[in-house]
Structures are given as C-alpha cells and as structure tokens.
Structure 1
Amino acid sequence: MPGQRLSPIYYPDVVVSCQPDEASDYFLEKPCLIVEVTSKSTEWKDYAEKLIAHQKLDTLLAYLIVAQDQPLATLYYRDADGGWEVARFDEPGQALNLPCPTAALSLADIYQGVDFSKTVAEEG
C-alpha cells in the first residue's frame, strides 16, 4: 500500500518462544526471549534500533545483549507492571535470571569455553 511503512524484520542470534508459533520456518511472531551477540560494528544497532523495536513486541519478556570481546551481558526485562528494567553483568559469578524460559545462568555459563586472549582479528 502506498504510504504504508513496514516494520523491519531482524534475525537475532537466538530467539525463544514458550508458546506455539508456527508462522514461519525463519522467524517467530511471539518471541519471549531475544539474544544478540554484539560487536563493535553492531553495538549501536543492538543497543538502540533493535532495543526500541523489540520492546514493542507484546510477548517479549527479555532482550539479552552479550558482548563477544569481553565478559559482559546486558539484560533488558519486563517488570511486574510491564515496564522495562535493565541489569548489567560483568562478573563471572553473577547470575542472570531469565523470565522465559525460566532459568538462571551465570556469566561464566554464557562464556564457557571462550578465550578472550585471542582477538577477533586473530580468529577471523
């Protein structure tokens, strides 16, 4: 339709739905958790553009941004009133409590097996 603006579709690194969602083999219409692994080149988009777009999804309970070059995770989550809160994790023993699926992960769990002594350039 002329003049109709389409919303962008993002393909996150991880997307989880806890309810039936058979809209497509390529995306979920009712995600409850979205996870992005960010880099210097995607950081702005993950923390700004995608954050704003994802927070408009009625079914989304949490949006987790995980850094690829250091142990750092930022969790945006809905509070009991439906508003958005944010928590930052940068210590290996810190626990992230995910609302969907209900789970607790430590930062050490998320980064298990990752060697930060190698730079991205060395790996690529």
Structure 2
Amino acid sequence: MILTKDNTPQLTPKEYFTWEEQQLEKHEYINGEVYGMGGGSVNHGRIAIRLTALFDAHVENSGCITGNSDIKVNIVETNNYTYPDASVTCNEQDKNTANYFTYPCLIVEVLSSSTEAYDRGGKFRMYRQNPALIDYLLVSSTSIEIDLYHKNKAEEWLIINYKAGDTIELKSINLNFPIEQIYRGLTLDPGNGE
C-alpha cells in the first residue's frame, strides 16, 4: 500500500479516532500526524487475504485472534497506530479493545515499492517496542520471496529469507506452510512493485 502524509493538522489520539471514522480511506497515526493509506495491487490484496484466512483457520480454537488490514495496531507505550496487512494476537488485553490490538505476536506487511523501506526500517523499529511480538513477516507481492524477522529466546532478531520451495515456520503461532500456498495462481511481475 502507498503511504502519504495527509494535510490534516496535528490531532490528539481521541481526535484521530473521531476524525478517521468519518473518512473514506484508512489513515495511520504517527506522532500526531496522519498518513493516508492508498490502495495496493491485486496481488497485494490476494496475498493479504490468503495469509489472514490461513492464520484465522489455524488459531480458531486457540484463544488467539487474527486481524486483517482493517484492524489497527497501537505501538506499545505510544499513541501511534498503524494498519498492518495481517496480525495475530494471543494477549488477553487485546480481547477487550474495540478498535485496535496492542500486543500482537505476529505482524505481516505485504511489500510494495513505495513502502518497503519504511516497512523494513521505521515501522519495524516501532513494532519492536512490543514485547509480545515474535514474528514480523515481510511478503513480496512481485516474486516468491518472504523475509521473516524472528525474535528468538535470547530476544535477538534473526532474519530468515524464504524463496520458492521453502516452508515458512512461524513459531509465534506454531504454524508451518509451503511458501507456494500464498502465491498459487498469481501472475508475478518483478517490475510491478506497486
């Protein structure tokens, strides 16, 4: 998805929630500023739907909740809110909030050329503030490539690069699946990064 700074004046978190309810598009809220979330490609949407459905079916009876791109994530100990493409929380506190998760153990961003640097850099730095986050999945929409940032037991972040033929392992929700499951039937074009 494309992220662009909106011309809206700085808002308080309460003003942001009220304002956004009246908007046609979603907006992330970072340090009092709002950023419009533009649309993504067909591949971007199909990949996000497949991952969300896969996670939701897997955690259905576990007490965990799957979020799609309509559910905000509140950055821990801040008033910042983002819209990942998918997330899963197993935290009891998140079951009592109506508008967002704060403690997801898994966050997914489907990459586009306009947001990839932000998703890998600044956004990941914000997400890492969450002590419950174990897996951060960055999924290409133009080639069969997935990068997993995994926090091990020593609290170190490891990067695992997956490609065609690999099996993705998400320890956060105890799920393994072949990478091709997400890309089946898609026409991939490395030159079309949104």
TM-score, normalised on structure 2?
0.55
Residue 86 of structure 2: aligned partner: 14
Gaps of 5+ in 1: none
Residue 105 of structure 1: aligned partner: 177
TM-score, normalised on structure 1?
0.83
Deviations 1:34-87 (A, max 9, x none): 000010001111110111111121000100000111111100011121111110
Identity of aligned residues (%): 26
* Match among 181, 184, 188 for residue 116 of structure 1: 188
Residue 25 of structure 1: aligned partner: 98
AA at the equivalent of 2:181: D
Q: Secondary structure at the match of 1:22?
A: helix
Equivalenced residues, count: 117
Q: Secondary structure at the match of 2:101?
A: coil
Equivalent residues of 1:35, 1:64 under 8 A apart: yes
Q: Which runs of 4+ in 1 moved over 3 A?
A: 117-121
- For the aligned residue pairs, the C-alpha RMSD in angstroms reads 2.2
Equivalent residues of 1:69, 1:120 under 8 A apart: yes
CA drift of 1:119 comes to 6.9
Q: What are the within-5 Å matches in structure 2 for residues 1-124 of structure 1?
A: 6-20=78-92, 21-91=94-164, 93-116=165-188, 120=192
* Greater fraction of residues in helix: 2
Aligned equivalents of 2:116, 2:132: Cα separation in 1: 24
Q: Structure 1 51/117 Cα, relative in aligned 2: closer, same or farther at 3 Å?
A: closer
Aligned equivalents of 2:190, 2:153: Cα separation in 1: 41
Gaps of 5+ in 2: 1-30, 32-77
